[in-house]
Amino acid sequence: MGNDYYYECPHPVAIPPAKPFIESVKSGIKETLFPDDPFRQFKNQPASRKFILGLQYFVPVLEWAPRYTFEFFKADLLAGITIASLAVPQGISYASLANLPPIIGLYSSFVPPLVYAMLGSSKDLAVGTVAVASLLISSMLGKEVHPNENPKLYVQLAFTATFFAGVFQAALGFLRLGFIVDFLSQAAIVGFMGGAATVVCLQQLKGILGLVRFTHETDLVSVMRSVFSQAHQWRWESGVLGCCFLFFLILTRYASKRKPGFFWISAMAPLTSVIVGSVLVYLTHAEQNGVQVIGHLKKGLNPPSVSELAFGSPYLMTAIKTGIITGVIEGVAVGRSFAMFKNYHIDGNKEMIAFGMMNIAGSCTSCYLTTGCRTAVSNIVMATAVMITLLFLTPLFHYTPLVVLSSIIISAMLGLIDYEAAISLWKVDKCDFIVCMSAYIGVVFCSVEIGLVIAVAISLLRMLMSVARPRTFLLGNIPNSMIYRSIDQYPIANTVPGVLILQIDAPVYFANANYLRERISRWINEEEEKVKSTGGSSLQYVILDLSAVGSIDTSGISMLEEVKKNIDRRDLKLVLANPRSEVIKKLEKSNFMESIGQEWIYLTVGEAVAGCNFMLHRSKSNNPATDKDELDAHDNV
């Protein structure tokens, strides 16, 4: 035992074997960009099998086509027709929301679903984003180009924005950067979507009240001013019709929510409304009494629009900006729908590529954005149904009243206002609730873009703040155990006399190193003052529990060095407990471990306290043998 007699550490802290630099870079890249291990199925396969799997990977249609049966087809046929009956009126409605000709909404329900059927692999995708994207298009492009004064340029810019949304999404997917959409927190999305839905509903007041002129602003104040300044022009026919249809749509939605088997009721309701509305108008000639109708829609499939992409336009930057923002919003919807439908075997980045391709193809075929889709074949069915509509049925929409479209949009939007989620945010996490409400208020009272910026900024700020201000806890011993836990959480835990045990609750980075240095110093001050005022045994050891410090950077190492110097200056001893592999590696490389002494680094707080107690008693009695007994006695308490 000799001169340097220490409490023998029962479980030494291991320093993990050093990895070669290249290997750690490789594993870092893998964890960062390929966390879902998308190529796992290729491992340990012969070359021919790899080729087939590869083809199936890039063109999923090859995967499911051989296994496709007639049973599947029957289900898909029904689903496809149901979606089509939803897609046709919604397509027309959303196009009018984007201030685009209604026919473009129909075009957009034809080509893109076909592209997605070939490339995509998700079975369920969120419906409703299209409304928000349409709103973004009308609000961002509408600022630069007036859709009524220069309709041709406006449509061109919408195609161009769609093109860039596609390019952006495909690029994110190819570079496997799809995770950047994760930086929008769920609370922010709830607020943003709710706000956007509210704004969309407010815009529908134009249709419901049968107004001809309307503001181009989207904020609540402007819309209300516009609505009430024209109070004398409200058309009661339009209003009554709108309220009836809205009531009908909400009722069917509520009914199918109560009985999930009746999904088709709410899916067919919009088409039913359109038909009933059109027939009503046709019979009563209401279009001559202030009820606005769609008017002429030309027959025929999507005309090509490659030549319409306005790359040379002075508004190119606006189109790019609009494209990127709508691309992100769609990306968020993709990510969110995966989370919602718990489909764990989907590669988000691949979906991003599929979405990107869909939008690029769409922008070249007179489409602006895409509607939701279910399975590949049901997509094809739906596209076929839309094709038939485009070829033969467009004249039937001539008498469709705009007020029905407004009702359809409102009823769809009401589902996006997730007030239940907001209430649960308030209950669980006030901070997230504030994020949510800020995004909502930003969208409703300022503009969609400002709301989005607020949502992203406040989410990031909140995250940075919690990184910058990690919590530190005083630990105490849980009676009858060797376990040490925060005294705040476990009031039964007892502090150890002469030993201050602190726990750092987050990784240590440059952003919190200064704070932690000050905070630890304050803990020690407070403890010393407490000891002075109560007259307990004086402070001898400071144990830092690093269990929750998953990583550390060089600023953090410097912080520890300074803390150690500060503790040494007060004639105390710094002891570390449970440094993780990242931390211990860096402590070793930076020579901090040498300066603190490896014997002062323990595997658990319990062992660290035992070691400290042993040293405390040894320095009092200077008799190792009895100490050992005392120590054991303590251990067994």
CA 234 to chain centre: 40
Q: Cα dist. 620→234, 377, 617, 623 in Å? A: 92, 82, 5, 8
- Which of 144, 237, 418, 553 is close enough to bind a copy of itself by CB under 8 A? 553
Binders in 446-465 for a copy of itself, by CB under 8 A: 459-460, 462-465
Of these, 41, 590, 595, 598, which contacts a copy of itself (CB under 8 A)?
Answer: 590
Query: Which CB atom, from 21 or from 228, has the smaller least distance to a copy of itself?
Result: 21
With respect to a copy of itself, which residue has the nearer C-beta, 287 or 588? 588
Nearer to a copy of itself, 391 or 464 (CB): 464
Instruction: Kindly state the tokens that stand for 313.
Output: 């336009």
Contact present, 433 and 194 (Cβ < 8 Å): no
Classify the phi-psi angles of 128: left when phi > 0, otherwise alpha if psi is within -120 to 50, otherwise beta: left
Site for a copy of itself in 603-632 (CB under 8 A): 603-604
Q: Give me the residues paired with residue 574 across strands.
A: 542
Name the residue nearer to a copy of itself (CB basis): 590 or 598. 590
CA 398-401-404 angle, 5° bins: 130
User: Which residues in 417-446 contact a copy of itself (CB under 8 A)?
Assistant: 424-425, 427-432
517: number of CA atoms within 13 Å, CB side?
Answer: 18
Q: Restricting to residues 558-587, name those near a copy of itself by CB under 8 A.
A: 558, 562, 565-566, 580-582, 584, 586
**Rg from Cα positions in the chain:** 32
What's the CA gap between 125 and 127, in Å, rounded? 6
507: left (phi over 0), alpha (psi -120 to 50) or beta: beta
Minimum CB–partner distance for residue 199 and a copy of itself (Å): 23
Among 352, 448, 513, 577, binds a copy of itself (CB under 8 A): 513
Contact 358, 166 (CB under 8 A): yes
Site for a copy of itself in 523-552 (CB under 8 A): 547-551
- Residues 27-46 close enough to bind a copy of itself by CB under 8 A: 31-32, 35-37
Does residue number 124 form part of the binding site for a copy of itself (CB under 8 A)? no
- Contact segment (CB under 8 A) with a copy of itself among 181-189, 244-252, 299-307, 450-458 equals 181-189
Residue closer to a copy of itself, measured from CB, 31 or 629: 31
Nearer to a copy of itself by C-beta: 178 or 362?
A: 178
Q: Does 337 bind a copy of itself (CB under 8 A)?
A: no
Closest approach of a copy of itself to the CB of residue 459, in Å: 7
With tokens 């063109």, the residue in question is 59
The single residue among 93, 129, 185, 337 that binds a copy of itself, judged by CB under 8 A, is 185
**Binding footprint of a copy of itself, residue count (CB under 8 A):** 92
Q: DSSP class of residue 446?
A: I
**Backbone phi and psi for residue 472, each to the nearest 5 degrees, phi listed first:** -120, 145
Query: 576 forms bridges with which residues in the sheet?
Result: 544, 601
Task: Give whichever of 308 and 347 is closer to a copy of itself, judged by the CB atom.
Answer: 347
Q: For a copy of itself, which residue of 495, 511, 624, 630 counts as binding (CB under 8 A)? A: 511
Query: x/- binding map, residues 386-415, to a copy of itself, per CB under 8 A?
Result: ------------------------------
Task: Give the residue, chosen from 299, 522, 530, 532, that forms a contact with a copy of itself under the rule CB under 8 A.
Answer: 522
Between 303 and 594, name the residue whose CB sits nearer to a copy of itself: 594
Give the up-direction half-sphere exposure of residue 36: CA atoms within 13 A in the CB hemisphere.
13
- Cα–Cα dist 229/145, whole Å: 25
Instruction: Return the closest-CA partner of residue 213 out of 153, 205, 345.
Output: 205
Tokens of 596: 């603190």
For position 184 contacting a copy of itself by CB under 8 A, the verdict is yes
Residues in 467-496 that interact with a copy of itself by CB under 8 A: 467-471, 478, 481, 483, 485-486, 488-492
- For residue 102, state whether it binds a copy of itself (rule: CB under 8 A): no
Residues in 210-249 that interact with a copy of itself by CB under 8 A: none
Interface with a copy of itself includes 144 (CB under 8 A)? no
Q: Is 339 in the site for a copy of itself (CB under 8 A)?
A: yes
For a copy of itself, the binding residue among 1, 3, 21, 314 (CB under 8 A) is: 21
Q: Which of 512, 543, 601, 614 binds a copy of itself (CB under 8 A)?
A: 512
Residue from the set 5, 58, 68, 183 that interacts with a copy of itself by CB under 8 A: 183
Task: Check binding of 26 to a copy of itself (CB under 8 A).
Answer: no
Per DSSP, the chain holds a count of helices (H) and strands (E) of: 25, 6
Give me the DSSP letters along 471-515.
-EEEEEEPTTSS-EEETTT-TT-BPPTTEEEEEE-S-B-HHHHHH
List the one residue out of 440, 457, 454, 455 whose CA is nearest residue 219: 440
Q: d(Cα 278, Cα 264) in Å, to the nearest integer?
A: 21
Q: Alpha-carbon distance 268 to 245, whole Å?
A: 13
